[in-house]
Every structure is written in structure tokens, then in C-alpha cells.
Structure 1
Amino acid sequence: MKRQKKQYAEGKEETKVKHTKLTLLALSASLLLGASAQAQDSVFVGHLVDYTGPTAFVGKAYGPGVYDAINYVNAHGGIDGTQIELTQLDYAYKVPEALAAYKAWSSRDMVAMQGWGTADTEALISFVAKDKIPVFSASYSAHLTDPQGTNPATQKPAPYNFFYGPSYSDTCRALAQWAAEDAKEKGIENPTFLHAGDNHPYPNAPKEACKAYAEELGMTVADPVVVPMAPGDFKAQCLTIKESGAQYVYLANLGGSVVALLKSCGTVGVEANYMGNVWAGDYVTIEASQAKNMIFPSSTPFYGQDVPGMDLVTKIAESGEFADGGKPTHHYIRGICSAYYMMEAMAWAKENGGITGENIKKGMYAKQDWVPEGLEGVCLPSTWTDTDHRGLMTVAINQGSYDGEVKIERINETTLPRRDDWLGL
């Protein structure tokens, strides 16, 4: 536990996994390896991670999940004999570095990419569509879910973007729904919802969608409060939250920023229900902030829970990042799910014309209510179609508190309607 807390909370310690880490200067040298790799039965996948930037708090949890899962499959025969050549780059959440990495990797016949942030993933939408390279991101922006631009409000069609889990917008809608029901049960006459997060593509992704749905549910929506992603003294923001009278505060940031906000608001006496996005809630954040009854969504069980697929998760973890012990967060498990959906689509592609980006995309549409083999009960049944990349509409809602130890319990689960007007938003 201590090792994990230090690793995720400080954002400075070098992760112990033996990743292939490249600087942009080394990317050009790595291209020389391409010719020899092509002579083997292998395919190339690029992997963007943030281990040293502003989202490293959770990046160092999620990235090893992807890495360990792919290494595990490679060690057990690969994709029906085809090995995945995985190159990982810590781009420190800098969009120009992500774009440069993509440009270098796409020249190596990259067949797919495991991505990370919202700003860079959205910046790459048109590039990956043109190059026909599927991106499996850790950004759950709803802007990535309309492959054909069916919704007139969609900014850009995103035919080659996928992610595992409900979108930021849909999880926020589920939290707003929970809040409206909670307010009704408690007899709150004028429940007020407030968005607290940085002015950045990731925290902003669900802002307008969630505001519209909260108002549709009859809630008052207060003006959003801008909270920087970098930790700081947020008493001024907390006083604004207190003055707004909001009983339900959506935490749109993650990691140290969330910890700092909860502590600052506790200092000035804010009384509200805090609802985090999927990256804002985990046992590390709850312990560091000493949170009480923090609400947050999830799309996997937590490590060690009694579900059939947890055995495979444990084997992957113990063969990689957690070989020396420790406890993964659910972010690590989502990383495993992301990698396995990609790899099963690759297996389908290999049997249907070869492992190319275009065939991997087709493989993502080949099954309905799909769970990767061996991960039953871990990854929830998901469906992607050529008109709708909202793979999962089910949102589990959890409550976490710290009282000498972290306690997390699931308090609700909802499956949202697949509304046409929500596609891409």
C-alpha cells in the first residue's frame, strides 16, 4: 500500500515496470527498427502515457495495465502467433509531443494506438481517420463516439476512435440522475448542481451535456467554478462553491487537484455531496483527501473482488507492475480491458484479411454485448457499431470514505438510454 501511495500521489517516482520509453529525439532512431520488425510475424502498436505530467497521478496506474496486458498475451503466444511490438512514450500530457509521436509511429506501419488524454486524442481525430489507424484512448470524451457525424451537433466524425467504458458525459449524466433521486429522498426542494474543474478539454468534455441533463431533471445549475489541474490552495474556489448553495458538486479534475479541493473545502466548511468523474475516484485519492462519502463512477470491479475474470487480472498484475506486491486501482483494470478489446479485434482481423487498422476497426463491430475471453465479470458487456461508438451505457456508482482505512461500496447502477441527441455530446 505504501509503495502504491507514493507512486501515484507524488507523480515523480520512476515506475518500476520495464517500459520502452522514448523521448522525441529517440523516436527517429526507433524507426530503424521497423525494417527488421516487418520481417517477423509482428505488428506495431504505439502507446502514449503520462507518467511525469499533470495527469501522472492516474496515468501511472492506467498505463501499466495496458502494458502488462499486452506483455502477458505476447508471453502466451500473442495474437494467434503474432507478437505485438509495443512502443511506449511518456509525452507528459503535451499535445505537440503526442502529435509528433503519432507522426513518427504512423510511418512505421502502426496498426493501432493506445492513447491517453482528451486534448491530444481529439486533436488526432482527423489524422487517424485519414490514416485508418484505430485509437483506443483513456479519454472518454463523448466527442469521440459519433463515427459518422450522425448528430448535427457533432463537431467531427470519429470513425477510428474507441474507448472502453461510458463517456465522461454519460457518467456525469448518471451522477446527475443519482443526485436528483438523492435530493428527492432527502426532501431537498431546490437541488443545485455545480461543475468544478479546469478550463481544459478533459474537465470541460462533459460540462454542457451534464448541465443540460441536470436541468432536464429539474435541478438548478450554478455557474461553474474553475479549479486548476495543478494542486493548490483552493479556499477561494471553495468559498464560491459555498456561496452558490450547491448541494451536488461534480469534480471534473483528478488526483492532487481533487485532494487539494476537498481539503480546502473542508477547511472553509462547505457542506456538499462531492461527485467525481471516473479518474477522480479511487482508494488512493480517497485516502489522501480523507474523503467522506465521495461519489464516483466505475466500469470494472475493484481489485480482488470475487468475479470470474479477476483471476486473469491477478495473473497479469503479478507478472508485471505488481510482481512485488501492491494493490492496483480500477484504472489499471480499465487499462487491461482497453488492451484486451483491441487484441480480440486484432484476432478477428487476422482471420478476416489480416491485422490492419481497417480490419481491426471492423473487428470492433463483429460482436454484440462483448466481453474479452477470460475477463468475464471484469469488463462489462460492450457493443460498438459503425454508427455508434458508445460501447457502454451502464454506469456503476460507488461511495468511498476514509476512516483509518478506505471503504468503498457500490450504491447504485444505472443503464442510460442510448439517446440520439446524446451521440457525440
Structure 2
Amino acid sequence: MPSAYIDTYYSRTAATSDTYPPAAGRIEADMCIVGGGLAGLTAAEKLARSGRSVVLLEAQRVAWGASGRNGGFVSAGYATGLSSIERRVGAEGAKELFRLSMEGVEIVRRHIASLGIHEARPVPGIAKALRYNSRGALQAASERQRREFGLDLRYLPREEVRGLFASPKYHEAVLDEGAFHFHPLNYGRALAREAVRQGAAIHESSAVVSADLEGARKVLRTAEAEIAAEHVLFATGGYTGSVLPELGKAFLPIATYVLLTKHAPDLVRSAIRTQAAILDDRRAGDYYRVVDDGSRILWGGRITTRTTDPRDIAALLRREMVTTYPQLADLKVDVAWSGLMSYARHLMPQIGQSRPGVWYCTAFGGHGMNTTAIGGTIIAEGIAGESDRYRLFAPFGLAWNGGLLGRAAAQLTYWGYRLADTARELRSR
């Protein structure tokens, strides 16, 4: 039997219970994909649709990791800001990469519409809210993005913000009306079904234990199978193992936490009066949205390099929620969970080719819903010879993660962000 999904809002509301058999015997394919998250599934569906023979190996279940237990936010951008990208690739390169992230949003939207994935439950609107007065900077930045990229952004002054999010913490916000939030596990499982319909073979409970990647035909081995393929794509995220050493040394596994509240529509409405999702602008901030017709809150936040769960995830997150919305002091938690994301030190996705026929597509932490879509798409284009757009990410390659020092530095950086956020809020009181 395949392993179970962990207990989350998404696993409780999964639309189907499809399973896929473990890989067995000798298998020949054009393409072998390691990792059944959204990046791997996007690539599998596109390559299978183009007529390639595709085998996808997933160690657990389809969308078992971060792809199926995240906040469900789909919006343009990356985990790092446009100015940081500009410093690495220049102004024009940064704009091209940002437009790719916008395309990623549209790929997800298009899949939902064309494949009839009603169970993804897309809801329009994501608001970026500030806990301080930017003194015109937020409005100016949103106007600039409207002009340069055509984003559907609307500035919300303090009065309107506090009418939608009844919290004394927020000063202003920008509502991205072209972004949306959804059920990522249902979306991922629907992508898997479509990939299989197009001819791909998906195998769950099929962890890769060894690989020979030097020959013209790459060979990967699971406990019960040997797969030979011309191309291999590693799309394994925060649960990446040691089969491709250069990949394992190039990412930081970062944990984040999410809770789901009890059913309490009146109490929820006393705090959050919009169907739009809310993204706290703090670098160490929260993200949350109402679900189940506005009767519950799905609240995420906190990041840590600690890969084991703290004693009480629910209490940690609930404290953040009640600090933001004191009127929710009586709102109880139904379930809480954690998951590992994959971050590179440069905070950009790692998308490219490490050697002929060996591809990687990972490090989507912090902005995975749009970037997994574009990552899987452009790797598939590269393999099929349709484009070389994956080369746009070459400046953000498999940089060493710093080992234990890298993890310590990441945790210290996060704590530094929290202190800086707090100081900025205090100055705005």
C-alpha cells in the first residue's frame, strides 16, 4: 500500500483517492522524472502530450511534500525581490525572469480551465499587507509594476484595509486581482491523472536508491525496478536525497507551519471580511486565507532550518493569529502541520542541466506555485528542443548551500528579519 498523506486540510478534502503502483522490473523510457511534485508533474504532462515516453518516480505519493500542503497562493514573483535579481542579471534580465513568473501563474490558471479541475477551487485575489506606513513607497511600487508588467494591482489605503482585515496591525495593502489561491493537492493530483491519460507512467512508493548518470542511457534503480532513459529530471524539493550529490549540496531544507481553525463563520467574519488571501509583507511574516465558504481560516507562517516538528505547532501559529486579530482569542485549532521547502542561498529556483541528459528543477521555496509551473514547462521545452528558456536561470545555479554553517546563517538571517520587522512596526505606531 502507498504511504498515507499527512493529516492536513488538503488531505482531508482531497477530491480523489487515486494511487499508482510502485515501479517494478526493467523499464525503458525517453524520460525519467524523479519527484512527483508540481514541477515534475508539469514536466511529465507536457512531455507526454508531445509524444515522449515518460516515467515518473515518486518516493511517497503524488504531491506528498510541499506541493500538496502549502498555502495555495498563486501569484507572480520569486522568493527574492526584483532588485536582488537585477543585481545578478541586470534590469532587462530581471524583467524577463519576472515575466516568466507571470507566465507560471497563467499556466496554472490555464490547466485548471482546460482540464476542468473544478476541485482546485480557485478564488481570485491576494493582498500584500503592510504593518507599517511606507509613506507612499508601496503605492509607487505597485504603480510601477502596473506600468512595466501590466499586473492588475489596486492600492488599498488604511481605511479600506482595516475594513477588509479588521486588525489594528495593518496600515496599507496592495490587492493583486490577477493572482488567486486554490487547493494545491487537488490540482497536483489532477495533473497526475492528465499526465497518465497522455501516456505517462507514474509510480508512487518508488524511491530512487542509486543512479548511473554518465552513459548515453541513464539508469535509475528503485527497490524493485531499473529504469533506463535518455533524459533524467530531478524535481525533488525539500526532500531531496543523495542520489545526485551536487543537488543535495545546493539547497537548504526549510520548514514552515500551517494550521486550520475550527468551523466558526461568525468569528472568522469578525476578523477577515474578504475572500482574497492575505500575505503579510514582513520577510518573517504570515500568510492566510479563509476556506470552506469563509467558515475557517488556513494560517501559515514561521520558517526554520529545524527539520523536526516543534512540540506544539498549533500553539505557535495560533499565537501569531491572535496577536494579529485579538477578536479571534476564542477560535480553536482543528489541525496543524509542517513541511519542508527547498531554498537556495540566492533565493531563486534552480532550473537547468548539470550534464548532458541530466536536468534539475527545484528550490521553489517561498513562491512555489507559479515557479514550479514555469520550471516544469521550460525544462520540458528544453528536452523537446522547443526552446532554451531554461538558460535564463543559469546565473542562479547549484551554488553550495554552506553546509551546517549555511543552515546556521539562514536561521540567523530569519531571526534578523523578525527583529527588523518588529522595529519597523514600532516606528509606525
TM-score by length of 2: 0.29
Task: Point out the structure with the larger strand share.
Answer: 2
TM-score by length of 1: 0.30
Highest relative contact order (Cα 8 Å, sep 6+), 1 or 2? 2
